[in-house]
Amino acid sequence: MVDLKHAREAHDKLGAYFSAMIKERRRNPGTDLVSVLATTELDGEYLPDEALLSFLRQLLIAAADTTFRSTGNMLVALLSERPDQFELIKQDRTLIAKAIEETLRWEGPVTVSFRTATHDTTLGGVKIPAGCVVQAILGLANRDPNIYADPDRFRHATPRAACAPGVCRGPAYLPGTAPGAVGNDTRDQYPFGSAAQIAAGPRPSKAGSAWMVFALPA
């Protein structure tokens, strides 16, 4: 159950915190990102506070949820779906990058994206007028049997290019893209050495329960 009262309270408190920070950076700017944003002018005026607050709220958690979700999904794939490929990774760490790429296709952290058409166009035989909001279901595209052979099977040895904003392809750019890319490609941080003791725990008894457990040597 969503606690709307406390969610609103947290929203307001975070907004007040960032508002005070913006005002302080405008009085005493430094070289940090907030100072740059707070003192940037467009047509002789500062950027709207509402835009800055929205950006800072998003930046606060940028790349965090996509990183842990993609990492968790990769562990699910390797430990429960393809333990044979997990063994290969333990022996050859250069395969980690391929496993990450295949994870973004097989079970990416973001499955839906929205775009607004800037001009009249036709896509897949469907006419899309300018201003129309389009819902792109990336998860469906990444499991399209017309594009991927055996699409439901995780196969990092021969990864298939994914349609995934986790790596933010195309003209759109999301705050946190660079941190997310670094987080997902820091190979030495993955406990996939030959001595790592990692195992899948029992499946959850109810939806939403975590079922991945792993232990590493001390």
Here the tokens at position 180 are 């997310």
Q: How many Å apart are CA 138 and CA 91, to the nearest integer?
A: 32
- Long-range Cβ contacts of 210-214 (<8 Å, 24+ apart): 212/72, 212/75, 212/76, 212/79, 214/75, 214/79
Strands 112-116 and 133-137: antiparallel
When pLDDT is averaged across residues 82-89 and rounded to a whole number, the result is 87
pLDDT for the residue 178: 47
Mean pLDDT over each residue of the chain, to the nearest integer: 76
Name the DSSP letter for residue 79.
I
Angle ∠(171,173,175) on CA atoms, nearest 5:
175
Tokens representing residue 146 in the block: 């017309």
- CB contact at 8 A, 106 and 73: yes
pLDDT band at 214 (very low <50, low <70, confident <90, very high): very low
**Torsions phi, psi of 115, nearest 5?**
-135, 150
Beta strands in 16-147 (DSSP E): 41-42, 45-46, 112-116, 121-123, 126-128, 133-137
pTM: 0.60
pLDDT of residue 83: 87
pLDDT band at 140 (very low <50, low <70, confident <90, very high): confident
Render pLDDT for 145-174 as a digit per residue (tens, 0 to 9).
888 888 888 887 665 665 654 434 444 444
Q: Give the pLDDT confidence score for residue 160 in this predicted structure.
A: 62
Instruction: For residues 154 and 74, give the distance between their C-alpha atoms in angstroms, rounded to a whole number.
Output: 9
Where do the structural domains in the chain lie, given as residue ranges? Answer: 4-61, 76-185
- Tell me what pLDDT residue 182 has: 45
Query: 179-203: per-residue pLDDT in tens?
Result: 444 444 544 555 555 444 555 555 5
Condensed to tens digits (0 to 9), the pLDDT of residues 19-72 reads: 999 999 999 999 999 999 999 998 999 999 999 999 998 888 777 777 888 888
Q: Output the pLDDT for position 167.
A: 39
Q: Which helix (H) or strand (E) holds 211?
A: none
